Amino acid sequence: MINSYFAYESFWELETYSHFLQVISTIGKSKEMTNAVNLPGAALNTKEHYDKFAELLRYLETNYSEQLSLDSVSSQVGFSKYHFVRLFKDYTGSTFYDYLTDKRIQHAKELLSTNAGITDIAFSCGFNNQTSFCRTFKKVCGCPPTEYRRTIMMSQSNK
């Protein structure tokens, strides 16, 4: 959030606000989880699930650029793939692949403000090829990475 705030790049205010909303959402979910654990009849392993997912989200935060599959990640936390999909959606409000894609695109946005090549950015963010990266970036952001970079460079030159 701090980097977005002080970057003064295009849409920095919206990006900062987005980070702020994520923080508030995480706090709210944490409070909701605390309440769920204290409810009579709540599943005995709710706290255990929460701890596993908190650890998993920390892992994804630092390893999103690796080739992660639903099977490997679900087995890492000790759930069947189908149980994992349901729990992941419950805890994050997002599917596993949407969450992973969001992390990768956020990192790509940061790298697009540098002179790194699009292919290098694609691989460093965990995409298998430039085509897949460009397609996904355009779907998520509404414009191709080259146009996003051009917008960033123009806004920096206008300062």
Q: Is the pTM of this model over 0.75?
A: no
Q: How far apart are CA 101 and CA 124, in angstroms?
A: 13
Element (H, E) at 81: helix 81-92
Q: Is the predicted pLDDT of residue 30 greater than 70, yes or no?
A: no
Q: How far apart are CA 4 and CA 53, in angstroms?
A: 26
Q: Is the predicted pLDDT of residue 76 greater than 90, yes or no?
A: no
Q: How far apart are CA 157 and CA 70, in angstroms?
A: 42
Per-residue pLDDT tens digits for 105-144: 999 999 999 989 999 999 999 999 999 999 999 999 999 9
Length of the chain: 159
Q: What is the DSSP letter of 68?
A: -
Return mean pLDDT, the chain. 82
Q: Which residue has the higher pLDDT, 20 or 59?
A: 59
**What's the confidence (pLDDT) of residue 130?**
94
Q: What is the DSSP letter of 140?
A: H
- Contact assessment for residue 73 and residue 55, using Cβ atoms and an 8 Å cutoff: no
**What's the confidence (pLDDT) of residue 27?**
77
Q: Is the predicted pLDDT of residue 47 greater than 70, yes or no?
A: yes
